[in-house]
Structure 1
Amino acid sequence: MRYLFEEYVFDTDRRELHRGTDAVSVTPQVFDLLDYLIRNRDRVVSKDDLITAIWKGRIVSDSALTTRLNAARAAIGDTGEEQRLIKTLPRRGFRFVGQMRETPEVANPNPRGASESSLALPDKPSIAVLPFENMSGDPEQEYFADGMVEEIITALSRFKSLFVIARNSSFTFKGKAVDVKEVGRRLGVRYVLEGSVRKASGKVRIAGQLIDAVTGAHIWADRFERDLTDIFDLQDEVTVAVVSAIQPKLFQAATEMATRRRPENLTAYDFFIRARQQYYLFTREGVAEGLRLAHRALELDPRFGVAAVLAGIRHVHNVIFGYAIDPQFDRSEAVRLSRLALSIDDSDPDTLAIAAIISAFMVGDSESEIEMTDRAVALNPNSYIAWSCRGHVYRIAGVPEEALRSFERAMRLSPVDPQLHTTLAGMGMAFIELSRFDEAIVAGKKAQRQSPSYSPAYRCLASAFAHLGRDIEAHDTAARLLETDPAFTISAWIARGGQSNAKLLIEGLRKAGLPE
């Protein structure tokens, strides 16, 4: 029998435990302990039950039992403090409480009768998009629904950090009543997206839901209703809406899964997604922790290009936020890591985009940086990161109009992104260079509300207020900036890089009374 829970597969016939594609080493006694707890998960197992089943009634000390239980918990990413999967009930015993499903070792869905076991889950978020059900009975909507699913699959496939099942495999389930858990098992994916299309009164309504195929839990669900005008424009619009909604959910689910694991069980990819979670923190501590985690991922996998570029941008943050003890070291490390990432894979859009940002701040070769971000958005026009980075690169290069177009596209793709304050602050600075100071204040205030400690938002606001002659607000905001960045001076900030074309922004900072 095979038991599936979270990302683990517990195979009693082969006496194997796997997490994703990785085999987890456990001693025979610990395996037996897990086996007994899982098989008897419908009840509380006493200490005497365990001793009888595992030790055959021999006298066993409490410390020996505790040691085996701790080892069992460690093997499945649990702890005695958390007790997410194995719960201790004081004075009663123990119980396995994780959500579980069972599958026989041999399945037989193929016509030739060959055995087929579950595919191991990939080491990154994996998804299958099933054909959407046509609820209207209109054959035209059938074509529309199929085409939209194909577009969603294509759009998701552009994210190299996702594992996406190809269209031909997904469409084998068309017209069939399916069990999402069985789909996940047969296709070897963690998540399944399913949906429906209904036409009524000149409108079309599309419903979609993202489901964890292992646990059956719903991750996301939404409805989209649009006028039925140009069918292909509508298809594109809904595709963008669905992809921009579910792609962050996939990474959020993967991140939450990684944070539940014990550090000694983390793989390079787990360290990477933890580092990416820290990316949204721009405090000194957040930058340092993100840098540590990214470098740890690189130690485990020196060819992990996305981890290399993530470490590189954290070195940039050390410089531009004034955290660096040795700025020259951070500069050289940022450039080295971005070049390493590009040497590993220069066709990954997010790697290209972030490498361009690193170069924009640390090198200043506008032509090369613009070329990289243009290529990034061509490779994946659905990437928030690529469009946002393109906006920053064009702003730094002194092309604020194109920067704004990129920022607006990024916000359309991910309107509630955790990184949105960086895009909003970038928009505010682009508005300033276009003398659109009122709009800069709107963008800066939104950025500040999302991240009250994000110093670029205060630089944007102080400069814009000063240009409008709102001196009290300018001075108050300048004081807030100095609270978040006590060592700030205009000359030091310019020296950090990427500000040579921010002439009106710098002029406004001087008017706001910030130290030269």
Structure 2
Amino acid sequence: MAAKQNSGFRVICNSVLRKNLVNLKKYIAELKKRHVFKAGLAYLIGAWVLTEVSALVLDTFAVPPYVMKTILIVLVIGFPIWLIFSWVYDLTPEGIKKTHKSDPDTLKSPVINHRLNRTIIGLLSIAVVLLVVNQLRISTNNSENKAGNRTPDEIATAEKPIELIAVLPFFNSKSDPETDYLGFAMADQIIGGLVYLQNMVVRPSASIRQYEHQRIDPKTVGEELQVDYILIGNYLKEDNVIRLNVELIHVHSNEIIWRKPLQVDFQSAFELQDIVAKEVIAGMNVQFTQKELSRIRKNIPHDPLAYEYFLRSISYTYTNEGDQLAIKMLEKSIELDSTYAPAYYHLGDRLHRNAIYGSPNSEEALRSENALLKALSLNSEHMGALGNLAMRYTETDRIMEAVELTKQILEINPNSAEAHFSLGYIYRYTGMNDEAIHEMEKAIALDSKNRVFRTIIITYLFAGEYEKAIEAGRLFEESAFIFEIQGLALFKLGKNTEAVEYFNRVIKLDPDTGEATVSSSTKAFIEGNPEEALSYAIQFEQFQIADAEAWYFKSFLYGMQGDKEGCIRCLRKAVDSGFFNYPLMSTDSYLDPAREDPEFQKVLQKAKEKHLAFKERFF
């Protein structure tokens, strides 16, 4: 009985299925008879053609984007309406008539079929033409983008390979403490002018200071600095005249490209920057634009004594004592001449260094920022001031402003190593660690001897590449900062004995600095003195460092000691002040003692939100 019921059910199902298939075939046949498929295809091709034509026309006349959006919306809405229309109506020689299914004579005729075919073929032909035109337009735009809408001499400039040059401190032919400062100061000023040339990378002043007051072998020094050309010379100041003998030497061939004697009144010493820059450009056959050359000439001092104070300030070394002496000289210079942008830039730079590495306090950090802003008000394209201010903004939760300043530098000189490093610095603060390493390594590839670039070792440390942090530190001159980060990298690797050795070097070199305090705290922790370690952490928190990243190090020290409250307090300050390296914060095991605390999670969530917002905007 059940078998009969199942058999009957299958018969009914098969019958219904066959009936549905028959109906579907009839429906499809009806669609074909009414040419709905062809009408739909014609509509889609026509809509695409209309879209392409609209894009070309609207782009030409700079019509607002919402017009194009409106056209697209209308075309999308019109498609189903067109399909219904083609089903219900027929376009005949007598006009539009309603099609009746029951009347075969009223079905669309072969004439209509031919019309649709011709329409489709015509639209396809237009589509092919538009595709060709659009491809040519894209190709043209790509060519224009490569040229960057530049003038012919700028385009020619881009085709010239980048040359590397070092301007060494000039040797005083008649050594005198009253005039020895000129050797380094004049070289620094020439370097400051050459940085505006896109097809030349000039080693920074910090890289060439080690050759001050020395007679050198150009080929040896050129190989040490990894450059193609060396500019060397000697000078003599007698009465109110500076006599300068300059040589441009090609390192690889050891050939003297040119040798020239120059003479200027001491009151016009600033003219040497422009004179020597022109000779270097000609001797190296570097192509340049008039705009680049005009940037070199922008900074002209108006008081000879003020300029002398300025040159003396430049000659002081980058040490805590040197920074203090330089600040005093620059303040004297500005008192006499308040219109010279480089004086404000160097004052801002020295104050910033003193606020970070010397006796940290927020007042000097603010003075530094104001000096840099003043420099830019006098010369909006001063690359040193732009870069230094970008760094300052990065450290104080003004990331977007920092990015804009860095972009401005790259517009002035796309091959600026400082600008690429500045981008890397910004990326480190925002948690884009891989991108930070990429930009910083690009900067070092352009200028491997720039002392400022040594902070790449922090980037390696934060990215968990501890061996690289240690190795990269060896590329730069030994300092308390280098030893501190190398020690922390060794500590992270579990090499505590070696880490303590590095921390001892820091404490011996600069016992009263932030680096020494961090080193002392970590060393005490390793040696099993938690109370001493915590006291140093508390001491480090008292340092008034206007740098968000420093607060992360403070949080790290408290977390290492298991002080949840201190760890969370300092981490919150770091995030609120602009350091939101979320990947680092979410994986640093030394923050684990506070990690489960709800307040810690709130801070971490805020860092994550800021990190993702930055990533979404710029990547």
Return the TM-score normalized by structure 1. Answer: 0.46
Q: Which has the larger radius of gyration?
A: 2
Considering fraction of residues, name the structure with more strand.
Answer: 1
Return the TM-score normalized by structure 2. Answer: 0.39
Considering fraction of residues, name the structure with more helix.
Answer: 2
